[in-house]
């Protein structure tokens, strides 16, 4: 008995693998289920590929938005009573700039205005900051479409040169060198309150930040001129701070608050846009959950194929049992047959999903060229191109989930095959 046990084939041995492969390749006339196997393979492939593509696009969308929004607006913001005192404000800016992890700190004014051009009248957001800080804002200074910023901030009270978003300039019908008229709703202070103030400025340059929300709404103005134009002499709206790693901005709030002083109020980008980023995170998690259910449903097709395979191979199972194959061997044979379909579909879906995600930009260009239609409208989605960022950790989770589901759904028919009674199977043969 011990000698017989010692000669018994090891689990998942060569003969079990060969038999599982033979069953998968068998034609329908031979009792195989090739068509159902192909359908199952295709379903798993498409489900995994779609999940990888959609999650890569959502990751890219978040990364693009995060990069552009934080590159444009900053990461930490200081407000409070110190902003009304120029000496205290300047001292706070110097101290904040020395905090480890802080790359830039500067006072800023954000105000609304009405912009008039030869073509149209529209509302605009005016941001006032110094020439040095504008040059350090690379998302603007590094993406000029025409003109330059050399003359920005030169002249009395910062001069009359402004930098305009490219979409806004096109909408107003102005180019570098042209005049643009701005109307401040509260620039002129009188005894009866603020009155609108109108002034003409020279467009020095236009920029494109790659996000239509900014390109069609923002105008940059020298800080001194913005203080004068909006009636805020000696004060600013906030001290804007940029850090080396935006994800560490919440951790730096305490150090920035100590540097700014006891009257300072400190907030980071996660607090300012909490509802927006929270909604984006929830949407991403829900989309992942829904698409994972698609993988589960696609993997369930393996059950139908294996059930028919077990039924068609009942005589083979009975013969294998009578010549000494154990229940475990039968179960492993059909388990490998089903799992092979899921594994092959998962690997094919992995290759297809990653390939499309990596080359999504030329694919988008080809589709737009072939159809003559714009696939990704920047006016709707804020970005000019469809972004995609492959997160390999997430891809690994998707692949592992698909493999696990494929194996789980093979267990019921494989277990049924192992419990088949040889006598009943051969009775009518």
H or E segment at 2? Answer: helix 2-7
The pLDDT of residue 375 = 66
69-78, 129-138, 381-390: segment of lowest average pLDDT: 381-390
Task: Give 160-194 pLDDT, tens digit per residue.
Answer: 999 999 999 999 999 999 999 999 876 655 545 55
Q: Which residue has the higher pLDDT, 428 or 347?
A: 347
pLDDT digits (tens, 9 = 90+) for 299-335: 887 887 777 777 776 677 777 767 767 777 788 888 8
Going by pLDDT thresholds of 50, 70 and 90, the confidence category of residue 417 is: confident
For tokens 């927006």, the residue is 276
Residue predicted with more confidence, 14 or 118 = 118
34-56 pLDDT, tens digit each:
777 788 888 889 999 999 998 88
**pLDDT score of 203 more than 80:** yes
The listed range with the strongest mean pLDDT (4-13, 79-88, 324-333) is 79-88
Contact by Cβ (8 Å): 204, 169: no
Mean pLDDT over all residues of the chain? 82
Higher pLDDT, 4 or 143: 143
At 3, the pLDDT band (50, 70, 90 cuts) reads very low
Q: What is the DSSP letter of 383?
A: B
Question: Residue 224: its pLDDT value, please?
Answer: 92
More confident residue, 60 or 6: 60
C-alpha distance across the termini of the chain, in Å: 32
CA dist 240 and 73 (Å) reads: 8
pLDDT band, very low/low/confident/very high, at 127 (cuts 50, 70, 90): very high
- The per-residue pLDDT for range 57-76, each reduced to its tens digit, is 888 888 877 778 888 888 99
**H or E stretch including 342?**
helix 327-358
CA 116-121-122 angle, 5° bins: 105
Tokens coding 403: 């493999």
Predicted pLDDT at 378: 59
């Amino acid at each position: 008995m011990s000698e017989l046990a010692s000669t018994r084939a090891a689990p998942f041995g060569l003969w079990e693998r060969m038999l599982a492969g033979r069953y998968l390749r068998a034609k329908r006339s031979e009792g195989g289920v090739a068509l159902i196997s192909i359908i199952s393979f295709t379903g798993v492939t498409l489900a995994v590929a779609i999940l990888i593509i959609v999650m890569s696009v959502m990751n890219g969308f978040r990364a693009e938005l995060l990069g552009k929004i934080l590159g444009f607006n900053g990461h930490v913001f200081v407000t409070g009573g110190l902003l009304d005192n120029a000496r205290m404000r300047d001292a706070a800016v110097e101290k904040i700039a020395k905090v480890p992890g802080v790359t830039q700190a500067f006072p800023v004014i954000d105000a609304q205005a009405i912009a008039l051009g030869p073509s149209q009248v529209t509302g605009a957001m005016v941001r006032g900051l110094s020439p040095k800080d504008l040059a350090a804002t690379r998302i603007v200074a590094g993406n000029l479409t025409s003109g330059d910023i050399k003359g920005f901030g030169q002249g009395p009270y910062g001069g009359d040169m402004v930098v305009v978003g490219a979409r806004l300039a096109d909408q107003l019908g102005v180019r570098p060198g042209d005049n643009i008229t701005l109307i401040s709703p509260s620039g002129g202070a009188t005894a009866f309150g603020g009155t609108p103030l109108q002034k003409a400025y020279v467009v020095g340059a236009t920029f494109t930040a790659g996000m239509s929300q900014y390109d069609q709404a923002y105008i940059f103005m020298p800080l001194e001129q913005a203080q004068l134009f909006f009636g805020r002499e000696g004060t600013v709206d906030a001290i804007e701070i940029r850090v080396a790693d935006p994800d560490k901005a919440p951790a730096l709030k305490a150090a920035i608050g100590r540097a700014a002083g006891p009257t300072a109020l400190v907030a980071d980008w996660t607090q300012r846009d909490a509802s927006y980023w929270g909604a984006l995170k929830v949407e991403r998690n829900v989309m992942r959950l829904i698409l994972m259910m698609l993988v589960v449903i696609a993997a369930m097709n393996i059950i139908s194929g294996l059930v028919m395979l077990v039924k068609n191979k009942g005589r083979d199972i009975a013969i294998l049992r009578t010549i000494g194959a154990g229940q475990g061997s039968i179960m492993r044979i059909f388990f490998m047959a089903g799992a092979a379909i899921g594994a092959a579909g998962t690997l094919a879906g992995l290759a297809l999903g990653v390939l499309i995600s990596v080359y999504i930009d030329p694919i988008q260009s080809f589709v737009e060229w072939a159809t003559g239609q714009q696939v990704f409208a920047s006016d709707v989605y804020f970005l000019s191109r469809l972004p995609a960022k492959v997160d390999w950790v997430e891809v690994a989770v998707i692949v592992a989930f698909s493999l696990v589901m494929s194996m789980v759904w093979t267990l019921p028919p494989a277990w049924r095959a192992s419990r088949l009674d040889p006598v009943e199977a051969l009775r009518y043969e």
